[in-house]
């Protein structure tokens, strides 16, 4: 089982529709994010559109949550106890995990973003051991 403890920065995000076709790049092509996974089982994640300014009529995508996590080598499950979206509190956030070219890739389940279902993959570079 891989050791995932540490702090990571978001370096890339891709999105596909339910049929697997590529969609426009999430976060306006400028992802900004951090994930910290402590050895004590506590984590925090933050992602957002990192552009300095947004086109008129665009809402900045932003999400953060924290909680206790478990990792079995393939799946990261976080029991959320605080979040920017209150509907996540008390839920399990499940992410598939794989390692590719020195990056940790987290894959949330297929879910709606802006009204249409998307499957995202977030690529994280480890920047410290916490």
The pLDDT value recorded for residue 116 is: 84
| CA R_g for the chain | 14
The pLDDT value recorded for residue 115 is: 79
Residue 95: domain span: 6-128
In a domain, 77, yes or no: yes
In a domain, 34, yes or no: yes
Q: Given a cut of 80, is residue 2 above it in pLDDT?
A: no
Q: Residue 130 — pLDDT band, cuts 50, 70, 90?
A: confident
Q: Residue 129 — pLDDT band, cuts 50, 70, 90?
A: very high
DSSP assignment of 4-70: --EEEEEEEEEEE-TTS-B-SPGGGG-EEEEEEE-TTSEEEEEEEE--SS--TTPPPPEEEEEEEEE
**How do residues 11-64 score in pLDDT, each as one tens digit?**
999 999 999 999 999 999 999 999 999 999 999 999 999 999 999 999 999 999
In a domain, 40, yes or no: yes
Count CB-CB contacts under 10 A for residue 78: 25
Per the structure, how many domains does the chain have?
A: 1
Q: What's this model's pTM, rounded to 2 decimal places?
A: 0.93
In a domain, 1, yes or no: no
**How do residues 51-88 score in pLDDT, each as one tens digit?**
999 999 999 999 999 999 999 999 999 999 999 999 99
In a domain, 11, yes or no: yes
Region of 115 (left: φ > 0; alpha: ψ -120 to 50; beta: rest) is left
């Amino acid at each position: 089982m891989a050791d995932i403890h540490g702090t990571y920065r978001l370096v890339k995000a891709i999105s596909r529709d339910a049929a697997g076709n590529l969609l426009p790049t999430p976060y306006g092509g400028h992802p900004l994010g951090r994930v910290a996974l402590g050895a004590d089982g506590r984590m925090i994640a933050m992602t957002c559109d990192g552009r300095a300014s947004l086109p008129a009529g665009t809402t900045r995508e932003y999400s953060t949550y924290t909680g206790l996590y478990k990792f079995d080598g393939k799946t990261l499950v976080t029991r959320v106890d605080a979040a920017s979206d209150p509907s996540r509190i008390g839920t399990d956030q499940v992410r598939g995990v794989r390692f590719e070219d020195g990056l940790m890739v987290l894959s949330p389940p297929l879910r709606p973003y802006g009204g249409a279902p998307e499957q995202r993959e977030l690529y994280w570079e480890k920047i410290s051991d916490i």
